[in-house]
Structure 1
Amino acid sequence: MTQTSSSSTPANPAAAQGSHMWVLTLDLPGRTMTTQYGTWTPPAGTTRYDAFLAIRGDLVARHPEMANANTIFFSLEPNRL
């Protein structure tokens, strides 16, 4: 995952965000659950499944205890209204 931060306000705030917004909830039954979210611009040709694996992989890299967790919820949508 690539996250962008800026100390100044860009002319178009959405331009500082990824092209897609995601939400992922993982659960280790009876132990712990986590919901994470963010934005991401996937490389050209990325499938929804590729995006899921990349996002889940990044979350597990930051929270190794979730490596065997069940996916409860995953959403990936264009980051626009």
Structure 2
Amino acid sequence: MNSTEQTSNRPAALEGTHHWIITVEQPGRASLTIDGSCTPGLGATRRDVFRDVKAFAESKHPDLRGANVVFFALESNQI
């Protein structure tokens, strides 16, 4: 299963302050790339967001629970 999925088609005004992308892979079996936006809570770290995003990906695709993360990006959602 190779797939790309967008987690939100919301208007820009409703997007979070940060955009994230994660790719996970079960070597030789499956991979997944998804993206979305979020607004981290006060005092949240990049690591906190990474863990939340990975948990989100695993909740949406349980067959990839425990998969290797091969890419993660978290950036400001402003241009």
Task: Tell me if both proteins adopt one fold, taking TM over 0.5 as the criterion.
Answer: yes
Which runs of 5 or more structure 1 residues have no equivalent in the other structure? 6-12
Which runs of 5 or more structure 2 residues have no equivalent in the other structure? 1-7
Q: Is 1:35 matched with 2:33?
A: yes
Q: How many residue pairs are counted as aligned between the two chains?
A: 72
What is the TM-score normalised by the length of structure 2?
0.84
Identity of aligned residues (%): 39
- Which whole-Å deviations, capped at 9, do the CAs of 1:12-62 have from their partners, x for residues lacking one? x53210000000000000001000001111111100000000010011011
CA RMSD of aligned residues (A): 1.5
Which aligned pairs between 1:2-81 and structure 2 lie closer than 5 A? 5=10, 13-81=11-79
Asked which structure has the greater CA Rg, the reply is 1
Q: Structure 1: which amino acid aligns with 2:52?
A: A
- Which whole-Å deviations, capped at 9, do the CAs of 1:56-79 have from their partners, x for residues lacking one? 001101111111210000000000
Query: Which of structure 1's runs of 4+ aligned residues deviate more than 2 A?
Result: none
What is the TM-score normalised by the length of structure 1?
0.82
